[in-house]
Amino acid sequence: MTDQITDQTTADRTYQPEAVEAKWQRRWAERGTNQPDLDRAERPFYNLMMFPYPSAEGLHVGNMFAFTGSDVYGRFKRLQGFDVFEPIGFDAFGIHSENFALKVGVHPAELIPRNIANFRRQLTRIGAMFDWRHELSTTDPTYYKWTQWLFLQLFKAGKAYKKAAAVNWCPTCKTVLANEQVVGGLCERCDTPVEQRTLEQWFFRITEYADRLLADLDDKSKMDWSETTTTAQRNWLGRSEGARIRFALDQASAGHVVGGPDVRIEVFTTRPDTLFGATYLVLAPEHPLVDALAPAEAQQRIAAYRDQVARHDLVSRKTNREKTGVFTGAYAVNPATKRPIPIWIADYVLMEYGTGAIMAVPGHDERDFEFAEKFGLDIVRVVAAEGEAADAPLEQAFTDDEAGRLVHSGFLDGMSVPEAKRAIVAWLEREGVGEGVVNYRLHDWCISRQRYWGPPIPVVYCDEHGAVPVPEDQLPVLLPEIEDFRPDDTGVSPLARHEEWYFTPCPVCGKRARRETDVSDTFLDSAWYYLRYPSTEFDDRPFDAARTRKWCPVATYIGGNEHAVLHLLYSRYIAMVLHDLGYVDFDEPFRRFRAHGLIIKEGAKMSKSRGNVVVPDEYIARWGADTFRMYLMFLGPFQEGGDFRDEGISGPRRFLDKVWQLVGDTVREDACDEMRHDVLVKWHQTKKRVTEGLEELRYNTAIAAMMELVNTLREANCCARPVVESLVVMLAPLAPHFAEECWERLGHATSVFEARWPTFDPALTVEQAVEVVVQVNGKTRAKVTVPRDADQAAVVAAALADEATRRFVGEGEVRKVVHVPNRLLNLVVG
């Protein structure tokens, strides 16, 4: 008897997470707790988190943090009565997997399923409410079949095309490298200087959508996104207003160019107002006009220069600022001054931006100034600051476009920069030598990769019919399982070596043709995965129309801000295209997006080399998933991240132990028949703070509010059932297994997730008697307790009854009284 009581007390005292968590994970699976009815759900809520790349190391604590934060929100919505769909999948194609596979010498097709199995185990262990029926992997043929289908839709709509583009090339590994594999101009594997090569690549015309992608960012009805993310996208799109100007060749140069008098060099500039100061032109080294322009005697130095440029990889070319270039030997005519100006080539002008050519205005552009100084080119001032002489010498480029007036600029003289811009654009248009345009920094999306581990681009090349799309009924074009998937020195994908696969009949004429050997970019896989989740069981369509209407767009999307630009922009683009092609009825895929913060460890970034990587499994094994979840959500604001320190985790664990005891008290006694008023108020305040905190993803303060409530209950010796039950419900999103177990102990036969989210009475969130801070000249001198909503006179009277207040007011006259009801009284004494 005695023993029994002791046992019971011990069992009561501390919470044993391991058994409890296993029990509830089993029950959730058995009961289908986390499986909404996708066809009949009445209040659908699509709660999405960015799917992980299944690395060999397993989920790291950053993933856990992100997924838990998203799961907490999903569970919160569930408790608010929504039918929450929370799917998970794996972004398993791509260079990461391929490189890792090369390193360890195991085929990715073998490696990935192993990694996924490990991820699945970890994701289950953390207790997220995933609907596993809808799991997907981008490497699954039933998935990438539809990625290929997506390519075909864009191809058929004229939104995909092929053109030559530069890639990084390692001459030792004899392979194409992604930008992130180039470290300081060297190949990350063998440290060989990386070169650039030009290859034919597939592109999507995302630039067609630049204006729409930009406009929606300001449309709150479509997009409720973190400000930092929309700003990043705005910068990436890089809209700039300016003009296109066409320069003719001067007579001498035109003489030796084929079609000389008709050749025009088109430039883009944001400062057309400085046209009179344009003293030379610069073309990108690979500009198609260069060869035609350059007289014979210049050809050799141009070839040498191009060679020099080609030896630099793309990355260092974009970071090395030392200006280089050569004169082409040709001259153009400045349409404003009518003077001949030399045409140079230099790699500080990028072929990818604008027209690949610029008019150089060294007086008013830093780069042009630097270049002109180095090569002794003319520098002319055409803008002078207020009070500055028109001929004041230029020590550096004067780039301020808000101050100053035009000088040495003919009919523009005396105008401000904005006035001059308008005037010169009007003049250009009248003269037919240019026009005002909007230009974007955004480039078309290069989707081809000369790699193995991705979905083959579904195109066949026929000698007679050119690039032919693979008919949809022949999809998927399966990625063949080849032993040696290492890229080789041909510069084309390893797939080209697989003859049986490579040669295939032309879909049009049936003659022998060749398959496209490039695979598509991983970002294409992830640009539409949210559409697949609700429809994973359909193998005859990428996404079911009714399902998509019911569940999309995604209600809340959570992920890292490292994807602020590429993934999120590509997904938006694909949604717009599918919308325009009539496949979906929305054109923005993610209604609400929030970026989570980053976890650091004891003040430093986690990294393998530092040896400070937190392995979640160990912590979960030691403390339990719920404690771990609580700690992750408590260590800092979810959207800012925080510092993971081992000592901190005991706080949430002690808190759960206290709640466990409280539940035990309630089950045993349920005795607190009369609740103290301040406890009642605290209870309602807590419900308010937790509800608002979870909605705003401020989990750390929501947890703090619940801790305060528990401290109050313990201090007041209260274990009233309604309070404790509501506490358990509020805790359920954060500590789901724990809450389920408590709920059961409290006598409920159903899941706590069938319960209703607690409501609060706003009137009860404020005390009847309030403490008002009394300040004298803005400094706190006393606190007085007055009835709630007491008027100013009453508060002043109460304040002046206070000895300390009187002392500070002293002999002075109260000149002004500031009264914030229920909070503060400030007496300003003259």
Least distance from C-beta 278 to RNA, angstroms?
A: 9
- Of the pair 459, 727, the CB lying nearest RNA is at 727
CB 370: neighbour CB atoms within 10 A? 17
Contact 368, 380 (CB under 8 A): no
Give the DSSP H or E segment for 151.
Answer: helix 141-156
Least distance from C-beta 346 to RNA, angstroms?
A: 8
- Of the pair 129, 728, the CB lying nearest RNA is at 728
Least distance from C-beta 752 to RNA, angstroms?
A: 22
- Of the pair 530, 660, the CB lying nearest RNA is at 660
- Of the pair 26, 823, the CB lying nearest RNA is at 823
Contact 487, 125 (CB under 8 A): no
Least distance from C-beta 74 to RNA, angstroms?
A: 21
Q: CA 458 to CA 476: how far, in whole Å?
A: 8
- Of the pair 507, 637, the CB lying nearest RNA is at 637
Alpha-helical segments (H) within 669-755: 677-695, 699-716, 721-731, 736-745
Among 278, 308, 108, 358, residue whose Cα is nearest residue 196: 308
Q: CA 229 to CA 74: how far, in whole Å?
A: 22
Amino acid at 540: D
The number of helix segments (H) and strand segments (E) in the chain equals 28, 34
Least distance from C-beta 432 to RNA, angstroms?
A: 21
Contact 345, 326 (CB under 8 A): yes
Least distance from C-beta 603 to RNA, angstroms?
A: 6
Beta strand segments in 239-375, E:
239-248, 264-269, 280-283, 326-333, 340-345, 357-360
3-state helix, strand and coil shares in percent for the chain, rounded to the nearest 5? 45, 20, 35
Least distance from C-beta 12 to RNA, angstroms?
A: 12
Contact 519, 449 (CB under 8 A): yes
- Of the pair 81, 238, the CB lying nearest RNA is at 238
Sign of CA dihedral 641, 643, 646, 652: negative
- Of the pair 580, 657, the CB lying nearest RNA is at 657
Beta strand segments in 284-339, E:
326-333
- Of the pair 243, 457, the CB lying nearest RNA is at 243
CB 754: neighbour CB atoms within 10 A? 12
Least distance from C-beta 825 to RNA, angstroms?
A: 8
- Of the pair 200, 562, the CB lying nearest RNA is at 562
Helix, strand, or coil (residue 118): helix
Least distance from C-beta 775 to RNA, angstroms?
A: 6
- Of the pair 739, 784, the CB lying nearest RNA is at 784
- Of the pair 38, 232, the CB lying nearest RNA is at 232
Least distance from C-beta 323 to RNA, angstroms?
A: 6
User: Distances from the Cα of 209 to the Cαs of 205, 269, 436, 573, 587, in angstroms?
Assistant: 8, 22, 19, 7, 12
DSSP readout, 26-44? HHHHHHTTT---TTT-SSE
Place of tokens 């991240």: 641
Least distance from C-beta 813 to RNA, angstroms?
A: 14
Which tokens is 43 given? 């209040």
Place of tokens 């883009």: 268
Least distance from C-beta 392 to RNA, angstroms?
A: 22
Sequence-distant (≥ 6) Cβ neighbours of residue 202 within 8 angstroms:
160, 161, 162, 446, 447, 448, 457, 518, 520
- DSSP type of residue 208: G
- Of the pair 110, 180, the CB lying nearest RNA is at 180
- Of the pair 441, 748, the CB lying nearest RNA is at 441
Among 312, 281, 61, residue whose Cα is nearest residue 171: 312
- Of the pair 53, 485, the CB lying nearest RNA is at 53
Contact 425, 438 (CB under 8 A): no
Cα–chain center distance at 467: 34
User: Distances from the Cα of 378 to the Cαs of 263, 272, 281, 381, 424, in angstroms?
Assistant: 24, 18, 12, 10, 22
- Of the pair 27, 658, the CB lying nearest RNA is at 658
Place of tokens 């207003």: 241
User: Distances from the Cα of 767 to the Cαs of 313, 322, 678, in angstroms?
Assistant: 68, 68, 7
User: Distances from the Cα of 399 to the Cαs of 273, 311, 388, 412, 424, in angstroms?
Assistant: 12, 33, 14, 17, 18
Q: CA 273 to CA 283: how far, in whole Å?
A: 20
Least distance from C-beta 77 to RNA, angstroms?
A: 21
- Of the pair 27, 714, the CB lying nearest RNA is at 714
Least distance from C-beta 279 to RNA, angstroms?
A: 13
Least distance from C-beta 823 to RNA, angstroms?
A: 4
Least distance from C-beta 642 to RNA, angstroms?
A: 4
Place of tokens 């909605």: 695
Least distance from C-beta 563 to RNA, angstroms?
A: 10
- Of the pair 125, 271, the CB lying nearest RNA is at 271
Q: CA 799 to CA 782: how far, in whole Å?
A: 8
Which tokens is 108 given? 């990715």
Least distance from C-beta 27 to RNA, angstroms?
A: 29
User: Distances from the Cα of 809 to the Cαs of 343, 705, 815, 825, 829, in angstroms?
Assistant: 80, 38, 11, 13, 6
- Of the pair 87, 277, the CB lying nearest RNA is at 277
